[in-house]
Amino acid sequence: MALMSVEQLLDQAEDEYMSGDQLAFFKDRLEVKAAELRDRLLS
């Protein structure tokens, strides 16, 4: 399953707040940012 785009996230209804798809979206974003931060700190 592909992660949703920012546009798809913003287009979702309020009752979809923190759905499984949204949680996966934010988890992926946090993991990417954490990896970038680790790389910067270790460089």
Looking at the domain assignment, is residue 1 inside a domain? no
> Which pLDDT score is estimated for 6?
95
> Which pLDDT score is estimated for 32?
97
Please, which residues have CB within 8 angstroms of residue 21's CB and are 6 or more apart in sequence?
3, 4
Per the structure, the count of domains in the chain is 1
Residue 18 backbone zone (phi > 0: left; psi -120 to 50: alpha; other: beta): left
* 17: containing domain: 6-42
> Which pLDDT score is estimated for 36?
98
> Which pLDDT score is estimated for 3?
95
The first and second tokens of residue 11, run together, are 């287009």
Q: What is the pLDDT along the chain (43 residues), one digit of tens a residue?
A: 799 999 999 999 999 999 999 999 999 999 999 999 999 999 9
> Which pLDDT score is estimated for 5?
96
- H runs (alpha helix) in the chain: 6-11, 20-42
Looking at the domain assignment, is residue 24 inside a domain? yes
> Which pLDDT score is estimated for 7?
96
